[in-house]
Amino acid sequence: MNDNLVNEFFGIGIQNGKTPENLGALWRTAQNLGASFIFTIGNRYAKQASDTHNAVKSMPYFHYDNFDDFFNNLPKGARLVGVELTDKAVALETFHHPRRCVYLLGAEDNGLTNEAIEKSHFLVKFNSQLSLNVAIAGSIVMYDRGINKPRS
């Protein structure tokens, strides 16, 4: 077995998600595109009709009450990649995905908290003038990871 594949993983989740339907769509995509786990910070996930594959029962799901709880429990060696439309973020098109990472998205209306932005190891954004639906944004990040294989 290839050691690079064994040492590679990613998780994806939302901080203070606003619309439960978006969570279900993101979980379904996460399951299809190879996420190792999914999570929420703040607002909890509830079973949604949009999660037609029932991904929340098919892969590890974690819930954290606040950002500190989440950050203190990042998997060892994982890099935090915040997805946020900010001047500090690099374009997704040029981003080199870490082999072991956790992607964090914010709610459509407020985005990531300042604390999440400051503590992210990397920030990425899309070539877009306005924010995208959180499920769509997460799907694009995971798809980009799949076609632009992570580097060490």
Query: What domains sit in the chain, N to C, each tagged with a CATH number?
Result: 3-147 (3.40.1280.10)
Residue 108 is predicted with a pLDDT of 77
Residue 130 is predicted with a pLDDT of 74
Residue 6 is predicted with a pLDDT of 60
Sheet arrangement for strand 79-83: 61-64, 37-41, 9-15, 100-106, 79-83, 122-125, 90-91
Residue 69 is predicted with a pLDDT of 97
With the C-alpha atoms ordered 103, 107, 109, 114, is the resulting torsion angle positive or negative? negative
Residue 28 is predicted with a pLDDT of 86
Q: Alpha helices of 18-99 — where are they, by DSSP H?
A: 20-32, 55-58, 67-71
Q: Measuring CA to CA, which residue among 34, 13, 36, 31 is closest to residue 23? A: 13
Residue 75 is predicted with a pLDDT of 95
- C-alpha 112/C-alpha 6 separation (Å) is 30
Contacts (Cβ under 8 Å, ≥6 apart) of 93: 127, 144
Query: Is residue 102 a contact partner of residue 138, using CB atoms and an 8 Å limit?
Result: no
Residue 49 is predicted with a pLDDT of 52
Residue 66 is predicted with a pLDDT of 95
Residue 70 is predicted with a pLDDT of 97
pTM (2 decimals)? Answer: 0.88
Residue ranges of the chain whose pLDDT lies below 70: 1-6, 44-57, 151-152
Residue 57 is predicted with a pLDDT of 63
The tens digit of pLDDT for each residue in 46-62 reads: 555 545 555 556 789 89
